[in-house]
Amino acid sequence: MLRLSALYRYPLKSARAEVLQGIGLDKLGLEGDRRWMLVDEASGRFLTQRAEAKMSQLSALWNAAGGLTLDAPGHSAIDIALPGSDAELRGVTIWRDTLRVPDAGDEAAAWVSRFIGKPTRLVQVPLDRARTTQAGYGKDDDQVAFADGFPLLLIGEASLQNLSQEVGRPLEMLRFRPNLVIEGSEAYAEDGWKRIRIGDVEFRVVKSCSRCILTTIDPQTGERSADREPLATLQKTRAQADGAMFGQNLVNDSNGRLEIGMPVEILE
């Protein structure tokens, strides 16, 4: 039997994961997932571990009011309120998308600037300012917050075990930053799924996930692997036209709630 074995949320794009037992879903995926982002103050361009590996050590916890608590080694924790309707809008760029979203204010900016080491702003995306998903996949009205391309990422436990064997050492699931982890399937079975149901929620499997250098960063220490693993192995064994694929991007077709242990049904 297939079941949901792990749930992860990333309130701040490219910061540490929150490990969950249960979570609600909204139009943009898991409630509170990647609704916040760091951007370069001058250019408005988004910041991630690809260039700022220290972000792997940044803890960002979602609170019930939709705000954020930031914490990091050597820094005092700070509580940041959800920007109000009168908050300043800041032009930001994430990949090819440009949008205007609420800025979290100067106190938050001072904290994240000290952490990053250069002028940085913290921004948040409300539902009415979300992006549309990557063209050519899914439906025209599918939306995403600050995740790279799609609201949700799913990985099978067996797929990670298989990759670990190929690399020759155990790999942490959080290197790949999934939202949903499934147990009970064969390795890479998720590559063939088109629609699944977990609890009362149906999901469309819209696109394989192309992996990048971020997979070589140890999620605990923030250090890059000298041998470029597991990306080097993925580039040999899982290469497609769009890159080295691992995991599947999903879109949820309704709201609802997920809990660890729920059965997973393959609909198509």
| Domains of the chain listed by start with CATH number | 3-29+133-266 (2.40.33.20), 34-130 (no CATH)
> In this predicted model, what pLDDT tens digit does every residue of 107-118 receive, in sequence order?
999 999 999 999
pLDDT at 213: 85
pLDDT at 113: 97
pLDDT at 214: 87
> In this predicted model, what pLDDT tens digit does every residue of 210-239 receive, in sequence order?
998 889 988 888 888 889 989 999 899 998
d(CA 46, CA 28): 19
**Cβ atoms 195, 14 nearer than 8 A:** no
Q: Which residue ranges in the chain fall short of pLDDT 70? A: none
Q: Are strands 120-124 and 97-102 parallel, antiparallel or unpaired?
A: unpaired
pLDDT at 14: 96
pLDDT at 12: 98
**Angle CA(73)–CA(74)–CA(78) in degrees, nearest 5?**
80
Specify burial of residue 105 (Cβ count, 10 A radius: 0-12, 13-18, 19+): middle
| Burial 120-155, CB ≥16 within 10 A → b, else e | bbbbbbbeeebbebbeeebeeebbbbbbbbbbbbbb
